[in-house]
Amino acid sequence: MAEFSKLLTKTDIQKRLSLPTKCFKPLPSPKGSHGRDFPAIDESGFAWTFQCSTRKKGHPKPVLSKGWLAFVRHKELKVGDRVKFFKEKDQGGPATPFYRVEAEKEIKIFGVIFGYSPIVAPFP
């Protein structure tokens, strides 16, 4: 089951992936700083490095910045597509978590959203 998923907005595909605060818990904690890198493996087996950060002041809303736009371009994501993140345990270590990311294209038939189809793109 996905830790979180999101339908992408214009800001998500042009600048950064803005996440609801409730999504912050499953992501790596910044631990004293306002940002932290973490790897995520896509459905093709490619490892992406994203940075999860929060605002330095005010409400600590999490966003993915570094690496995110490269992922968007590679997957050719558009407004209305969906992205899902999963937290899993590494088979090699006792409790080392890693993340899996999946992108899905919105499928419309006669202008009506019919569902979503996984995007499996070749390695960049």
Cα separation of the two ends of the chain: 27
**CA neighbor of 14 nearest in space, from 69, 84, 70, 82:** 69
- The values of phi and psi at residue 77, to 5°, are -75, 150
CA distance 86 to 97: 10
Q: DSSP character for 55?
A: -
Tokens (6 digits) for 2: 């996905």
In DSSP terms, 112 is beta-bridged to: 109
Write out the chain's pLDDT in tens, 124 residues.
457 889 999 999 999 998 877 665 555 555 566 677 888 899 888 999 988 887 677 676 788 888 999 999 999 999 999 999 888 766 665 555 678 899 999 888 888 877 888 777 666 5
Domains and CATH numbers, the chain: 4-20+36-118 (2.40.330.10)
The 3-state DSSP class for residue 118 equals strand
pLDDT recorded at residue 63 = 85
pLDDT recorded at residue 82 = 93
CA distance 90 to 82: 25
**How far out from the chain centre does Cα 124 lie?**
17
pLDDT recorded at residue 15 = 93
